[in-house]
Amino acid sequence: MAMGEGALAGDAGVSEQVVLLGPRKAMVGVLAQPAGGGAAAGLPIVVLLNAGVIHRVGPNRMHVALARTLAREGYSVLRFDLSGLGDSPPREDALSPFESALADVREVLDSLEAARGPVQAVLVGLCSGADQAVFYSGQDPRVVGAVLIDPSVPRTRRFYLNHYGRRVLRARSWANVLSGRHAMFRRRGALAPQNDFAAQQDAASAAQIDTPETRALLEKAYQAAVDQGVRLLAVCTADRETRLNYREQLLEALPNVRFGDSLRLEWFGEADHTFTMEAERVALLRLIVQWVRDGWGAGVQAAA
């Protein structure tokens, strides 16, 4: 693991270092650790994955805040850019984007292990990062935990009951029906109003994970992680109701997975997908920090 030009200016109690990772020393990351020394012995390193195409600071700088908070608790935390994102150049092979991300994670852990000796890791991802985290977790015994924020979850019968039940209760929906403006009256293939485009794109993306093939792949990935003893924290928001709208949807969507006590589910009904509101963001960070402490020691001092 190659180091950058020197320590960054972090906050009190935290030391941050630019690192170059992978066999090409091409992936760029920032390693946060407790000031005055490395992490306490026996603690896993927390690895933060990109949320979609957002670079390593995370949405609303959430990764920066989480990394520094955990570093003050005594943990080492790496936030880095996957190949082709942020400051990291694309890979030189022909892997698909998802395969590329999984290969990147493996190369990052290999780099950490070469520099620090045997490592254990907790992966943290939002959206696409959550999917990468769970699929990778069952493939590498070095991963002991994964935080999955708004992972892909197939829709269920209860999802549709909630979805259409809420619409029936909305006066605006009834007004649209009576006026002929409701979506049910639009001809298939007709151009949707501009403000409906995002919702349509979201629904189309959600439909891709409702196929039996995708559901089977997700069940296989989650079961592999559970069988390997990976602790899972799944945090879901109600921001995009075309995808997920109740706390237990993950469990009911993947009924063949034997989660046992490996999974903790949390529901943020007031938060948007990227935790724009500071109060929701703070609550999420507190949840993650406490979950990490509960699983792998209390750290060296209380979080600021």
What pLDDT is attached to residue 45?
97
81's tokens: 């850019």
Confidence of residue 164 (pLDDT cuts 50, 70, 90): confident
SS3 of residue 45 by DSSP:
strand
What pLDDT is attached to residue 304?
36
Q: Please give the Cα distance from 292 to 173 (Å, whole number).
A: 43
Contact 143, 125 (CB under 8 A): no
Pick the residue with more confidence: 213 or 12? Answer: 213
What pLDDT is attached to residue 174?
52
Pick the residue with more confidence: 214 or 195? Answer: 214
Other Cβ atoms closer than 10 A to 25: 12
pLDDT in tens, 91-113: 999 899 999 999 999 999 999 99
2-154+212-296, CATH topology level:
Rossmann fold (3.40.50)
What pLDDT is attached to residue 5?
36
Q: Please give the Cα distance from 280 to 287 (Å, whole number).
A: 11
pLDDT in tens, 244-295: 999 999 999 999 999 999 999 999 999 999 999 999 999 999 999 999 999 9
Residue 246 CB burial class (10 angstroms; 0-12, 13-18, ≥19): middle
- Which residue ranges does the chain devote to CATH 3.40.50.1820? 2-154+212-296
218's tokens: 């997700």
Q: In Å, how far are 10, 27, 111, 203 from 2, measured between CA atoms?
A: 20, 10, 9, 43
pLDDT in tens, 119-131: 999 999 999 999 9
Confidence of residue 40 (pLDDT cuts 50, 70, 90): confident
273's tokens: 């997908």
Q: Which of 38, 30, 112 lies closest to 74, judged by CA?
A: 38
Q: Please give the Cα distance from 25 to 108 (Å, whole number).
A: 10
SS3 of residue 267 by DSSP:
strand
Its pTM stands at 0.85
Contact 56, 79 (CB under 8 A): yes
Residue 184, pLDDT above cutoff 60: no
Neighbouring residues of 212: CB distance < 8 A, sequence distance ≥ 6: none
Question: What are φ and ψ of residue 199, in 5° steps?
Answer: -65, -40
214's tokens: 């995708």
